[in-house]
Chain A
Amino acid sequence: MFEVNNISMIYDMDTDEKMYALGGFDLELPDKGLIGISGPSGSGKSTLMYCLSTLKKPTEGSVRYNGLELTGIPDRERETLRRKEFGFVFQKHYLVPYMSALDNILVAASDSGKETVEKAKEILKIMGLKERDFKKKPAKLSGGQCQRVAIARALINDPKVIFADEPTASLDHENAFNIMKILKEYSKERLVIVVTHDRTVLTDVDTMIEMWDGNISSISGRDR
């Protein structure tokens, strides 16, 4: 699904002390499965995920998604891709504080209508939220519930890829385990990329990518 060639990302390009967030490497990712990207802070794992998801543009190299060169497409196309084909789970849940749990999911939906509302409710149920919680605002939900709503928001358009950046960082062990279980389930049909520095949550990944200082130090997995 993703084909990355010689990708590099340099911060502070105009200064003498250039900072290589990604140091130029190749990578291929399949159409489905749970991919874990791990490494210490500053190793470039989040930068790699954001380059894949079109949120960042690499300084050099190419990122192909189903044959489409992502680095060269206009902003409008990148936005459409993010809206229709990608789903995002961020470190913080980034729920809109004045919206109910249900509305927070619907705001990301690419379709409108009753079916979408029903679908959003269904996803919330799968995420373990009770019907009485659907109308609750984020301030009335627990941290784990908020993160599950954020995952539900990422799932509403049936994205082909889910990008999750430290999705369990603010959760206790039990909630973290449940979130990873949901993502694992989704990865049976689609691609889920999880970035984390906490390797304990990545015990069930299909492919594990270890990063160090802007480069991939190892790739391991069931199929490799």
Chain B
Amino acid sequence: MKSRLSATGYIKNNKRTCFVLILALGLTFMAMYIIAFILGATTESFRPIIFEYPRRISFAEVTTNAYSVKRSDYETIEEYAEAYGKEYKAFFEALSNDPDVTKVYDTQFLNATYNGVIGGIGYEFPLLPAEEIPFVAEHLGAVLTGGRMPEGEGEVVVDEIILKNGKMKIGDWFLENSYGQVFKVVGTLRSDGMACLGTPRGRYNSGWGFVVLCNDNSKDFTKLAAKYGVHVSEENGDNISDAVTYKKMWDTDIAGTIDSVMKVILLVVMIFLTISVLIAYISFMRNRVNEYCLYASIGYSKGEIYGMIMREMIILFLSGIVLGVITSLGMMKILDVTVMEPRGLVSAWFMKDQLLRILGAFAVIVGILQIPVMLSVHKIKTIDLMED
């Protein structure tokens, strides 16, 4: 016998109540997705610096501990300095001759800062003689999009996104601190790795060491140095910025942290949503007790009544999700235009993982809602009991 309990009957005839419920679900979905979008924008924005930039360039401040010469093996400091100098030169030459290394510089470098929605990231860029800059720019896949390349001392060309992010323009001072006004922005670059380049001015810098123009085979500086008997490590005080250290930073400080924050936020929102939806649904079902009792009295089984409640719930939740997706995309467009783009932040529109996570959260809520639904269905009386 076919059940005539329609899932859409209530929805069609109680449009306002159902619309409020769908709207609440949709807005919750949107809130969850936008939080993920904003946090995700931070990781997305940092991605080029973490994954693209170090594929082509590494920075290493190597201490004397990394070389095989030991101070204790030499009687005088002069003898030690001479031996160390030889080893340093040999290492530099070995790196220069490595088939996977385009060029090595022993030079100063400077830090560029890129601020995400949450936190920021600093990364080195080399300060080189002006005549070297076009060659390095080409190696980094960077093209000049405005201004000119550095010609005199203390000039920098900055990636256009970094420039926007730092609210700077050509002609501004890139670094203005207690040392005075140093490094003027003379041009803008565009590249996959947000590259910046400059010429030194005296010794105003944030590091000095090897700058290695590498490729995918030589992007691990620790491994590259070990080939030539130089054993660098963070424990020995060596300061390395290469593909490996950037990846480590990504795993621990960026993706790891943001992922944890996202999970906590999602959990808090989910708990809040679950409680709200539970209260709404319990009151929703309480208002319909007489209806359910009528169905049971005229011969519908509890299974059929449960099926109708579940079908209604699924329609409401799916409608809420569809509304949530549409409003989320709209809101993200507004956020992108008003917040992200002016700050030079990169945003991901379609976040598959987040979408699945939110859908999972909604599925859990539907699961939890089974408790009041089943309790209500279990408590359904027939009309004779109501009239007793």
Contacts and interface: CB of A to CB of B under 8 A. Distances in A.
B205 interface: no
A109 B4 contact: yes
Contacts of A108: 4, 298
Contacts of A109: 4
A211 to B, nearest CB: 16
Interface in B230-255: none
* Closest 6 pairs between A and B when the two form their complex, measured CB to CB: A83-B299, A82-B299, A98-B13, A50-B384, A55-B384, A94-B294
A106 B4 contact: yes
Contacts, number: 65
Contact of B384 (A56, A76, A98): A56
A91 B1 CA distance: 27
Interface in A46-89: 46, 50, 55-56, 75-76, 79-84, 86, 88
A137 to B, nearest CB: 8
B300 interface: yes
Contacts of A86: 299
A134 interface: no
Nearest to B12: A98
Nearest to A83: B299
Given A90-B383, A107-B6, 8 more contacts: A79-B299, A79-B300, A80-B1, A82-B299, A84-B299, A98-B9, A98-B10, A110-B2
B290 A94 contact: yes
A165 B387 contact: yes
Interface residues of A, number: 32
Interface string B347-388: 000000000000000000000000000000000001110010
Interface string B1-21: 110111001100110000000
Contact of B1 (A56, A84, A106): A84
Contacts of B295: 107
Nearest to B17: A98
A38 B14 CA distance: 41
B276 interface: no
Interface of A: 46, 50, 55-56, 75-76, 79-84, 86, 88, 90-91, 94, 96-99, 103, 106-112, 137, 153, 165
B257 interface: no
A46 B4 contact: no
Contacts of A98: 9-10, 13-14
B299 A46 contact: no
B97 interface: no
Q: Range of interface residues on chain B?
A: 20 to 34
A103 B384 contact: no
B206 to A, nearest CB: 70
A111 B4 CA distance: 8
29 contacts: A46-B387, A55-B297, A55-B383, A56-B384, A81-B299, A82-B297, A82-B299, A83-B1, A83-B298, A83-B300, A84-B1, A88-B298, A90-B297, A91-B387, A94-B290, A94-B293, A94-B383, A96-B294, A97-B291, A98-B10, A106-B4, A107-B4, A107-B5, A107-B6, A108-B4, A108-B298, A111-B2, A112-B2, A137-B13
Contacts of B63: none
B4 A96 contact: no
Contacts of B10: 98
Interface string B39-50: 000000000000
B301 interface: yes
A103 B384 CA distance: 23
Contacts of A99: 9, 13
Nearest to B299: A83
Nearest to A76: B301
A79 B301 contact: yes
B359 to A, nearest CB: 30
Contacts of A137: 13
Nearest to A166: B387
Nearest to A107: B4
Nearest to B298: A108
